[in-house]
Amino acid sequence: MKSPRHQPPQEPALKLSDQEWRARLTAAEYHVLRDAGTERPFSGEYETTTTPGVYRCRACGAELFRSTEKFDAHCGWPAFWSPLAKDRIIELVDDSLGMRRTEVRCANCGSHLGHVFEGEGFDTPTDLRYCINSISLTLEPGDAPA
């Protein structure tokens, strides 16, 4: 059964050819952002970062998450309890790996960011854990807007 959070497929605003994406991204970035790969746990640059700021999509620069919604989930990847705004991401059913998960993609360019999990009992306002690959993000340091 589909969760009410899942959205119908939508066309991203930024459309590039495979060749253009490969020219724009490193091989590791392309693997995660365009092939829906995953970086190794506890290896990403933002996993334990506490720097204030806004996290952007590494592929297109769209603002996605704020540091004020980041929390330490001890899961090996940066975790957020909410995106910057619901229209910044797309949530899709992911039945790969023999389990049902919710994939998170950038709404602007369609790049894979990670997955969102619910009901894990974290003491956050939403009880959601947006588990995002560091390599999918860039951090713009500064005061995160309210």
Of the CA atoms within 13 Å of residue 89, those in its CB half-sphere come to 27
Q: What is the token pair recorded at 1?
A: 């059964």
Nearest to 14 by CA among 47, 62, 55, 48: 62
Is residue 72 within 8 A of residue 81, CB to CB? The reply is no
Nearest to 117 by CA among 75, 87, 63, 85: 75
| Known catalytic residue at 106 | no
Phi and psi (nearest 5°) for 79?
A: -125, 135
User: Of 57, 60, 109, 131, which one is the catalytic site residue?
Assistant: 131
Q: Which amino acid is located at 81 in the chain?
A: W
Positions marked active-site: 131
